[in-house]
Amino acid sequence: MPLSRRSLLAAAVGAKALAQPGPFHWPSGKRGAVSFTFDDARVSQIDFGIPVLNHLGLKATFYVSPSGFRQRVWGWKQAIAAGHEMGHHSHSHPCTVNYRFSRDNALEDYTLGRMEADLDRATAEIEETFGVRPVSFAYPCGQTWVGRGEERRSYVPLIARRFRTGRGYLNEAANDPQRCDLAYLMGTHCDGYRGDQLVAQVEAAMKEGRWLVFAGHDFGDPAPQTTSIEAIRAVWTYASDPAQGIWLDTVATISDHLAKTRSVAAQR
Ligand SMILES: [Zn+2]
């Protein structure tokens, strides 16, 4: 007997409900999460930034490339020992041909195979130098593709196979912990902002129960690719008040919670 239109609709709605993961919960007392991340293993991170973070007790994620970390290997070893996360930022940092610095190492000239080789070379150097295997990746320049025109391909699947998360750059929203694609996390840039501006972004993200991932570069006075140490202090002061219910930790720690909580929810 053919099913009525109403029962077909009910079956479709039921199937959709089954496909949805269960409700997501932050740990007890937390409304949302914030991670500070910094790219390129720039020397100001070791020389100025990490000592301040250590003083505050704030753990951050650093997405490194060998050309950067080779300038401060001992400092990076100490940073890992202090609890900061060492993430992965490719070996040769390829970006679009439109940036002068990457014209001779442009994503437009890459294939997926060449990108895989670049990624795996950096992983091997990080493991050999520091004895850690990164679980978090940041796309250089926030760009996620190789090739051009009809041959252009996303390399997000390469990241999904190698890492727990991949972080974008210059994105305009915080991550929905229930639904976000861990292989492409939104990264909100924090360079050049005042403390009150970053705190306002944190407040907006917490109202929606989100995970805000800040993305910066150098540490110092406010500048286009520099995060102000005072701005970090302002966020830390705000976020470390238990009444705010903010989980401030590395990408690896927060994403571990998401991966476990979401998979448990999906099994229900
Ligand atoms: Zn970079």
- Give the residues across from 175 on adjacent strands: 211
Where do the H-state alpha helices sit in 151-215? 156-162, 195-207
Neighbours of 42 (CB within 10 A): 23
Task: State the distance from the centre of ligand 1 to the C-alpha of 170, rounded, in angstroms.
Answer: 12
Q: What is the pLDDT of residue 268?
A: 45
Q: How far is the CA of 188 from the centre of ligand 1 (A)?
A: 14
pLDDT for residue 20: 53
- Give the distance (Å) from ligand 1 centre to CA of residue 201: 23
Q: Distance from the CA of 23 to the center of ligand 1, in angstroms?
A: 35
Quote the ligand 1 centre to 4 CA distance (angstroms): 57
Residues of the chain with pLDDT under 70: 1-23, 263-268
Ligand 1 centroid to 241 CA: how many Å? 32
pLDDT of residue 224: 83
CA distance 109 to 118: 13
| d(CA 79, ligand 1 centre) in Å | 19
Could you tell me the pTM of the whole model?
0.90
- Sequence letter at residue 263: S
From residue 10, alpha-carbon distances to 3, 13, 16, 22 in Å are 11, 5, 10, 19
User: What is the CA(38)–ligand 1 centre distance, in A?
Assistant: 9
Where does 40-187 show beta strands of DSSP type E? 61-64, 85-88, 136-138, 145-146, 153-154, 165-167
CA of 152 to the centre of ligand 1 (A): 21
The model's pLDDT over 5-35, given as tens digits with 9 standing for 90+, comes to 545 444 444 444 444 555 678 999 899 999 9
Cα-to-centroid distance, 262 and ligand 1 (Å):
29
The type of residue at 10 is A
The residue to which tokens 């110092």 are assigned:
220
> Distance from the CA of 42 to the center of ligand 1, in angstroms?
10
d(Cα 2, Cα 232) in Å, to the nearest integer?
63
Please state which CATH class domain 28-89+135-142+165-267 belongs to. alpha beta
Q: What tens digit of pLDDT does each residue of 155-183 get?
A: 999 999 999 999 999 999 999 999 999 99
Domain-by-domain residue ranges, the chain?
A: 28-89+135-142+165-267
Q: How far is the CA of 141 from the centre of ligand 1 (A)?
A: 6
Cα(40) to centroid of ligand 1, in Å?
A: 5
CA dist., res. 39 & res. 87, Å (int): 9
192 alpha carbon – ligand 1 mean position (Å):
16
